[in-house]
């Protein structure tokens, strides 16, 4: 590992949801360690991994972990990474802020693999699923689901198709926990 390891977050898409794409957290942590990461911590079963790595190693992690999961478990799972500072920035730029913990389940952040082109962002339909709202900021999509997320038409599949990339969603409670686990963006 390089001289200075920063804190990073890996967000895996669609694991351990509804009994599908089962990936044990202990096995997942071992894959990160085998890839050269340090201080690996998983958070809940939905594929959140905080780890220490040099910037060069962190850039290789999405491909390395996706390949390891496919080799060991036969699953094709997208892996999206962010630095601790990027998680902190995502938390700071939430256009739907609330300090009410009861509201945290209504707020989500979609972390995109790639920053979408402006013309693709402009093609998104703001009236697709009222009263739900969204805002794209860089490589994140902020979503507010006043009635809950169960019936929204603002799905990852919709955003993937229109924005021509892949994303994975986390609720606001998880974003705040990842911020805490990374040291608040200090890494």
For residues 171 and 91, membership in a common domain is answered with yes
Boundary (domain end) residue, out of 68, 84, 100: 84
pLDDT over threshold 70, residue 187: no
For residues 156 and 115, membership in a common domain is answered with yes
pLDDT at position 17 is 75
In the numeric block, which tokens belong to residue 156? 């990852």
For residues 97 and 110, membership in a common domain is answered with yes
For residues 135 and 112, membership in a common domain is answered with yes
What average pLDDT does this structure show over 141-159? 94
pLDDT over threshold 50, residue 127: yes
Residue for token pair 């202990």 = 26
Neighbours of 36 (CB within 10 A): 17
Is the pTM value of this prediction over 0.95?
A: no
Q: What is the CATH number of the domain that holds 65?
A: 3.30.70.1280
Specify if 1 maps to a domain: no
Specify if 186 maps to a domain: no
User: Max Cα separation, the chain?
Assistant: 50
For residues 119 and 156, membership in a common domain is answered with yes
Neighbours of 8 (CB within 10 A): 27
Question: Which stretches within the chain are classed as H helix?
Answer: 25-34, 55-73, 84-92, 118-122, 156-163, 172-181
| 69 within 8 A of 23, measured Cβ to Cβ | yes
> Is residue 85 very low, low, confident or very high in pLDDT (cuts 50, 70, 90)?
very high
For residues 77 and 103, membership in a common domain is answered with no
Alpha carbons 103 and 65: distance in angstroms, whole number: 33
Per-residue pLDDT reduced to its tens digit, 165-186: 999 999 999 999 999 999 875 4
Neighbours of 110 (CB within 10 A): 24
| 13 within 8 A of 78, measured Cβ to Cβ | yes
Specify if 151 maps to a domain: yes
The DSSP secondary-structure symbol of 17 reads B
What average pLDDT does this structure show over 67-75? 95
Determine the straight-line distance between the first and last CA of the chain, rounded to whole angstroms: 16
Residue for token pair 């979408």 = 116
Question: In total, how many domains does the chain have?
Answer: 2
Boundary (domain end) residue, out of 33, 51, 84: 84
pLDDT at position 5 is 79
Per-residue pLDDT reduced to its tens digit, 11-38: 999 887 777 888 989 999 999 999 999 9
For residues 91 and 32, membership in a common domain is answered with no
pLDDT at position 4 is 59
Beta pairing partners, 109: 142, 170
Per-residue pLDDT reduced to its tens digit, 90-108: 999 999 988 888 888 899 9
Per-residue pLDDT reduced to its tens digit, 32-61: 999 999 999 999 888 999 999 999 999 999
Q: Which domain holds residue 128?
A: 87-181
């Amino acid at each position: 590992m390089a001289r200075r390891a920063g804190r990073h977050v890996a967000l895996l898409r669609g694991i351990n949801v509804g009994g599908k794409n089962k990936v044990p957290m202990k096995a997942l942590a071992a894959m990160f360690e085998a890839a050269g990461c340090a201080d690996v911590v998983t958070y809940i079963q939905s594929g959140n991994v905080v780890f220490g790595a040099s910037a060069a190693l962190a850039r290789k992690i999405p491909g390395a972990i996706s390949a390891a999961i496919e080799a060991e478990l036969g699953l094709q799972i997208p892996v999206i990474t962010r630095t601790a500072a990027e998680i902190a920035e995502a938390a700071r730029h939430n256009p739907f802020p609330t300090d009410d913990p009861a509201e945290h389940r209504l707020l989500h952040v979609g972390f995109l693999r790639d920053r979408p082109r402006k013309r693709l962002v402009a093609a998104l339909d703001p009236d697709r699923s009222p009263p739900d709202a969204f805002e794209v900021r860089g490589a994140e999509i902020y979503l507010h689901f006043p009635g809950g997320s169960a019936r929204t038409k603002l799905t990852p599949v919709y955003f993937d198709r229109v924005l021509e990339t892949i994303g994975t969603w986390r609720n606001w409670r998880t974003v705040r926990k990842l911020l805490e686990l990374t040291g608040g963006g200090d890494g």
